[in-house]
Amino acid sequence: MKKKTQVKPNPQQIQQFRQVQAAAKAVLRDLPALLTMHDSEMSIAQKATSMLAKLGYPDTWYYDCPAQVLLGSRSCLSISGKSYIPNDEQLGGTNLVSIDLSPMLGEIWGDYSRTFAYELGAWVSQPKTREYQNGFQFQQHIHQELMKWLKPQHTLHQLFEWANVRIREKGFVNLDFRGNVGHSIVSKREDRHFIQADDHTPLGDIQFFSFEPFVRIKGGHWGFKHEDIYFFDQADNLQCL
């Protein structure tokens, strides 16, 4: 059997991926404050796509879905970009909106999502709604714990089990329709490895991967997304793009 010879990403590759990811971050830094009570999934997706294009990223690797937006009654909906059609439900005064961006430049992918809270018709970085607070705090916590715990020898299966135990321990439910919490970042969709049960590929054999638990509080009404791309550097330390 031929031995796998996966190499760690080199500085040039890291820089290329950082540039694409930086565009997604820039859009989600600026977009929330531009939204009004009358915006919908459809108008938000259009605005995000236009902003990405203006930054030089008109293409997406995620089917025909450069921006997947979920809000209100659909905040807990888990759906593939292949089937996603944005809704016309309006943002209104109090709501959550999750925006998942998938820009591409050549064979370089970006993958970045965040959830934003709206209260009294405006975006708030520090919401007063308790369920919003709990959801955001959990997402921050699990990503911080990932940075401390994950090592190159851990497998996709082990990461899947680790994440889902913490989701349950903290009183949350995994909303992903596949049950996974992320995937490898590759150049063809069909080549992705998902962070799911029974895939024993070590994370050290994957150059870049997303970690994106999509959760709601057990018995709650709102879904929370928080996605970043990670990689192991030459010293085997986990880094976030």
pLDDT of residue 178: 85
- Give the residue from 82, 76, 120 showing the smallest Cα distance to 98: 76
CATH of the domain at 213: 3.90.230.10
Answer whether residue 6 is part of any domain: no
The pLDDT profile of the chain, 241 residues, written as one tens digit per residue, is: 344 445 799 999 999 999 999 999 999 999 999 999 999 999 999 999 999 999 999 999 999 999 999 999 999 999 999 999 999 999 999 999 999 999 999 999 999 999 999 999 999 999 999 999 999 999 999 999 999 999 999 999 999 999 999 999 999 999 998 889 999 999 999 999 999 999 999 999 999 999 999 999 999 999 999 999 999 999 999 999 9
CA distance 154 to 142: 16
Among all chains, which residue has been given the structure tokens 């010879």?
5
What range does the domain containing 220 cover? 11-240
CA distance 100 to 66: 8
What six digits make up the tokens of 144? 């911080």
Answer whether residue 2 is part of any domain: no
Number of structural domains the chain divides into: 1
pLDDT of residue 202: 97
Answer whether residue 157 is part of any domain: yes
Answer whether residue 218 is part of any domain: yes
**Cβ pair 72, 95 in contact under 8 A:** yes
Answer whether residue 233 is part of any domain: yes
Among all chains, which residue has been given the structure tokens 């995620």?
62
What six digits make up the tokens of 168? 């349950």
Answer whether residue 3 is part of any domain: no
CA distance 14 to 239: 10
Answer whether residue 175 is part of any domain: yes
Answer whether residue 4 is part of any domain: no
